[in-house]
Amino acid sequence: MKRPPMWLVVVLAVLIVVIVGGAIVLGAPDRRRDGPFGLRADQVAELPQPAARARPARWYEAPEPDQWTTQLGDPSGSRYSPLAEITAGNVGSLEVAFTFDTNNARGHEAAPLVVGDTMYVTTPYPNDVYALDLTRPRPTVKWHYQPRPLQASQGVACCDVVNRGAAYDGGRLFLNTLDGQTIALDAESGRELWRTKLAEINKGETITMAPLVAEGRVLVGVSGGEFGVRGRLTALEEGSGAVAWRAYSTGPDAEVLIGPEFKPYYAQDQGPDLGVHTWNPDGWRIGGGNPWGWISYDPELSMIYYGTGNPGPWNPSMRPGDNKWTAGIFARDVRTGKARWFYQSSPHDLFDHDDVNESILLDIPFNGRLRKVIARPGRTGFFYVIDRETGQVLSADPYAHVNSALRIDLVTGRPVVNPEKMPKPGRVTRNICPAAPGGKDWNPSAFSPRTGLVYIPHLNLCMDEGEVDANYIAGTPFLGADARMYAGPGGHRGVMTAWDPVGRRPVWRIREDLPLWSGALATGGDLVFYGTLDGWFKAVDARSGKLLWRHKLSSGIIGMPMTYRGPDGRQYVAIFAGVGGWSGAIVAGALDPADPTSALGFVNALGDLIPRTEPGGRLYVFALPG
């Protein structure tokens, strides 16, 4: 056979290289890192005009300048302070005013509270409380309270032994301990007034959330969605700690406090005892639905809004049905606890998409008139605007990369699940976005009435998930799934998005290398503060996202920034450094990155965090020089 000519051989070789190489390059998942991340904001859209802006609820009152009495700043959940001494112009010179070490090396998620000239600091397990006297330039400890929770409670906390802070009302400080007790302290002296036990650690129950005080009730949920704990929200009498009412998240209507005043907007939520009938027999008893996140309060309607956690186990084939009332939002009468409406953002949840994120109470112009809504970035990756009187979803748009649901059907209210991303027994489902911590986990966003934007510190993570059999043994995890997470498209793992709830789109975005696990703070100086997992505390311009100032702290930041006016009349910004939580567990728990399924899959995404930060809790308080 004659040899082919040389030019033909060369052409063929080049073609083969181009075709094969192109297939490899184009076919590879988009995981390259565009970096450097975190230094620039991408402008996406115009700022909304004042008439087309979301605005605070009619009854909203900004907190007093020398007060920050609840973790979200105020009952509407805005994390906004009108203090404007620190502005975009002068924040560049912000410096450390003082620090306070907690001698605690776990994840610090709480924000300190300030009332008058005292600052109250809470720590992760063992949940110590310090009162600091702010009248001194170097604040001193006025009193130190040690609740001494049970040591064994550390073994049933899913996501580091964190505590999301205290709440202050009427001279009393309220906090929850890891072993499930709610404690009231006299704010002046630190004397314990009462303590009520709400959880049983032998059943896997703990409490990590911050309480909310409203109309004489202290509202406390419970944690344990990974342990088959039956979720419930309890209201305690502020004065005595006695149980006023308790509303379960699963089970018969009488225990869920569903009665004739319950008027859910969507058909699938209407019917008797759905908390029993949408589960396999007895599944609701170990079904999860734990409210461990944020509660908002509308004093005009006397209603509270909070979300319930994931159903248990993670493995969905073991609990057929919609699994009510998990992974959804309840609106209840704060005095009686009776439910008014419910919206389930993840019926028959497949991906551990708890619905416990913050609900910011706003009034927004919708189709010509002002509607009272809750605006919330959900775990599912959608930003929901829901009418807070009826429970109707007005809009639901993805703020993060989502392929697990195609969209939210606004007629039925249900997500249209992508069948390719449904977990199957004996198989691994790949590239599910968002991953289990969702588009955003617990860390709360902030709303600025000056810009009408919600500032969302969130995630860009996807995961592979494989189902296995789950087994229920009380006090041990009830999961049935192995997951491993990794960066989503673009290679960055965190995003700070400024979202316009009326325009239903992002206005600007900052892509961050590491997942954002800290809360956000918006101030009257048109600044937004947030922190990164490797310890950079940043101030960006609220209008454009431009990075104006940053400072490296001694440990990664998973806490919530807050601001106050000190006794000397200056504005201070406070933030805890202390890496940990679910995302930072690899550092706080010294986990082994060789096992990608560690920390419920997070370790796979954060192997590079180990050399970038160290554990250790320290409160940083910043102010302008002078």
Active site residues: 226, 310, 352
Total residues contacting another protein (rule CB under 8 A)? 74
Task: Report angle CA 526, 528, 533 to the nearest 5 degrees.
Answer: 165
Footprint on residues 158-217 left by another protein (CB under 8 A): 158-159
d(CA 355, CA 393): 15
Cα distances (angstroms) measured from residue 123 to each of 126, 131, 306, 355, 522: 7, 12, 24, 25, 24
- CA torsion sign for 422, 424, 430, 432 is positive
Q: Beta-carbon neighbour count of residue 605 at 10 Å? A: 26
Looking at residues 413 to 472 of the shown chain, list those that interact with another protein (rule: CB under 8 A).
Answer: 424-428, 466, 468-472
Site string for another protein, 485-514 (x = CB under 8 A): ----------------------------x-
In the bound complex, what is the minimum distance in angstroms from residue 287's beta carbon to another protein? 11
Q: Which is nearer to another protein, 426 or 626 (CB)?
A: 426
Amino acid, single-letter form, for residue 335: R
The nearest distance, CB 233 to another protein, in angstroms, is: 23
Q: Are 386 and 340 in contact (CB under 8 A)?
A: no
Q: Which of 216, 299, 489, 593 binds another protein (CB under 8 A)?
A: 593
Q: How far apart are CA 207 and CA 199, in angstroms?
A: 7
Q: Which of the residues 405 through 424 are near another protein (CB under 8 A)?
A: 424
327 binds another protein, rule: CB under 8 A: no
Nearer to another protein, 449 or 531 (CB): 531
The whole-angstrom separation of Cα 85 and Cα 524 is 8
- The least distance separating another protein from the CB of residue 341, rounded to whole angstroms, comes to 23
Using CB under 8 A as the binding rule, whether residue 612 contacts another protein is answered as yes
Judged by CB under 8 A, does residue 620 bind another protein? no
Q: Which stretch binds another protein (CB under 8 A): 96-104, 189-197, 475-483, 489-497?
A: 475-483
Q: Does 482 contact another protein by CB under 8 A?
A: yes
Structure tokens at 267: 């058909």
Complete edge-to-edge strand list for the sheet that includes strand 303-307: 295-298, 303-307, 328-333, 339-344
Considering only 368, 569, 611, 625, the residue that binds another protein (CB under 8 A) is 611
Identify the CA nearest to 557 among candidates 539, 540, 581, 532: 532
Work out whether 267 is an interface residue with another protein (CB under 8 A): no
Q: Of residues 104, 345, 448, 613, which one binds another protein by CB under 8 A?
A: 613
Q: Which is nearer to another protein, 159 or 327 (CB)?
A: 159
Residues 6+ apart with CB under 8 A from 31: 486, 487, 491
Give the footprint of another protein on residues 526-565 (CB under 8 A).
534, 536, 552
Instruction: Using CB under 8 A, pick the residue from 507, 596, 605, 617 that binds another protein.
Output: 596
Binders of another protein in range 369-408 (CB under 8 A) = none
Site for another protein in 209-228 (CB under 8 A): 226, 228
> Cα 98–101–104 angle (5° rounding)?
155
21 binding another protein? (CB under 8 A): no
Are the C-beta atoms of 177 and 207 separated by less than 8 Å?
A: yes
- Cβ proximity to another protein: between 214 and 318 the closer is 318
Stretch 279-308: interaction string toward another protein, x if CB under 8 A: xxxxx-xx----------------------
For residue 304, give Cα distances in angstroms to 183, 327, 500: 21, 17, 24
